[in-house]
Structure 1
C-alpha cells in the first residue's frame, strides 16, 4: 500500500500520457488499486491469519488438554479468541486506511480522511464474514497447515475469480469495497450506502460464528 501511494505520481503521469482524453484522477487510482484490489486483498489475508488457531490446532500439537484444564469454558475461550481477532482486524483495517491520506500529502496529492475512514470501516464491517470463515475452518481442520492452506486457496481463488470477471453476480468483495456506493466519476463515497448488502454480510458472519461455536462445543478434543 505504501509503495502504491508513493509511486502514484509516476503511474498517473504515464497513464495520462497514454490516455490524454481520459485523465486518471488520484481518487480513482486509490479506490481502483487499493480499496478495490490490493489493500482489500491484503486485509482479507491478514484477517484470515488472525482468525487461525484454536482448540483444533492445539489438539494437533498436543497442548489442548492444558487449555481445557483451565477454569474457563471452552466456548468462552473461543469467544475471547474471536473478539481479539475482530479487534485486531478492525485496528488493522482502519489504521492502514488512514495511512493513505497521510502518505498522499508526501507525493503532493490530497485524499480526504473521511473517505479513507469510511472505506476502512465499511470494509472491516462487511469483512467480518471473512474473519468468521477463518474462525470456522480453524475449528474444523486440525492440521497445522490444513486450515491456512484451505482458507488462503479458497479466498484467493474466489477473490481473483471475481476481479477477473470469471465469477459474476453478488459478491462480498464488492460489498467490502462499497462498489455500489461510490460516484462513478470520482470513485468517492456518495453517502448513500447499501445497508442491505452490509446486513447480508453480517448475517452470514453470525451464521459462520454460531457454526464455529457449535463445533467447539460438541467436538471431542
Structure 2
C-alpha cells in the first residue's frame, strides 16, 4: 500500500528564497482560507485551499492550490501575509498575530486590503482552518508514515465530521471514526487517493 510521508526533507526554491520543507509539528499540511465578509469581494482571488510548501522564517508556508499566492510569516513586520511572493511584504490578506506558530490556530481577526480606501480592514468572518488534518506530532510519532491506515468515505456523511479534507469540491472523511486522528488526500494520475490514521 502506498503511504504518503508528511515529514519531507527537501530544499525548495520559492521566489529566490531557499526553504527547508519540514512540517512544523501539529500544524496542518493543507489549509483553507475562507470568508463570507467583505474580504471575499476585495481579495477573493486569495481565498481557497493552500498546501504546505516548506518552512520560512521559522514557520510553515503554504502555496495556493488553484492560484499563485502564498501564506507565510514575516517576523520583521510581525504579520502573517497572503501574497504572490513568499517572504515579501506585499499581499492582500494579513494577520498581526506574532505568537501563533500554525495559521489555523490564530484567533485574532484577519484583515484584507481595500483598494478603494487604500487601507487594511478587519474581516471578522475570515478564517484559516485545516482542510484535512493536522500534520503528525513528531514528539509522539516515531515513524512519519501513519500506522494502520483506515479507509475513507466521501460525500454527505462527512459533513458532520471534525476531521475531513476536500478535493475538487468533494468532502472526504474516515469511514469508522471521523472525529479524531488525521486524513491525507492526494491526486495521482487524475484519481483522488485518501487514507485515515489514528
What range is the shorter-chain TM-score in? under 0.3
User: Could you say which structure has the greater relative contact order, defined with CA pairs below 8 angstroms and 6 or more residues apart?
Assistant: 1
Scaled by the length of structure 1, what TM-score is found?
0.24
The structure with the larger Rg is: 1
Q: Which has the higher helix share?
A: 1
Q: Which has the higher strand share?
A: 2
Scaled by the length of structure 2, what TM-score is found?
0.26
